[in-house]
Chains A and B, each alone.
Chain A
Amino acid sequence: MNNLRQKNKEYFPCMLFLAFSIFFWEWYVKSGYVSDYLVPAPSAVGQSFLNHFSILPEHILTTMSEALVGLFFAVIIGVLIAALIAGIPFIRRVLYPIVVVSQNIPILALAPLLAVWFGFGLTPKVIIVVLIGFFPIVVNTADGLMNVDKDMISLVRGLGANRWQTFRLVLFPSAIPAFFSGLRIASTYAVIGAVIAEWMGASSGLGLFLVRSQRSFQTDQIFMAIIVIAVLSISLFISIQILSNIAMPWRKALIDMGDK
Chain B
Amino acid sequence: MIESITMEDVAVDVEGVDYTYTQSQKIDALRDISFKVNTGDFVSFIGPSGSGKSTLLHLISGLLNPSKGVIYVNGEKSFSSLGRVAFMPQRDTLFPWRTVEKNAVLGAEILGVPRKVAFQKASELYELFGLAGFEKVWPNQLSGGMRQRLALLRTFLIPKDTILLDEPFGSLDALTRYEMQQWLQQIWDHDRRTIILVTHDVDEAILLSDTIYILSERPGSIIKRVDVSIERPRKKKVIHSTEFTQIKSEIFQILGSEI
Contacts and interface: CB of A to CB of B under 8 A. Distances in A.
A154 B63 contact: yes
A250 B91 CA distance: 20
Contacts of B82: 157-160
A253 B110 contact: no
B83 interface: yes
A156 B107 CA distance: 7
Contacts of A18: none
B97 A173 contact: yes
A126 B142 CA distance: 45
Contacts of A15: none
A257 interface: yes
Contacts of B63: 154, 157-158
A253 B138 contact: yes
Interface in A214-239: none
B95 A173 contact: yes
Interface in A188-233: none
Interface residues of B, number: 26
B140 A169 contact: no
Interface residues of A, number: 23
Contacts of A103: none
Interface in A141-155: 149, 151-152, 154-155
A155 B138 contact: no
Contacts of B111: 159-160
Contacts of A102: none
Contacts of B81: 160
A165 B110 CA distance: 8
A94 B63 CA distance: 30
Interface in B99-141: 106-107, 110-111, 137-141
A160 B110 contact: yes
B156 interface: no
Contact of A151 (B89, B106, B137, B139): B89
B62 interface: yes
Contact of B140 (A149, A159, A170, A250): A250
Interface of B: 58, 61-63, 81-83, 85, 87, 89-91, 93, 95-97, 106-107, 110-111, 137-141, 158
Given A161-B110, A249-B138, A253-B141, 4 more contacts: A151-B91, A156-B106, A160-B81, A254-B140
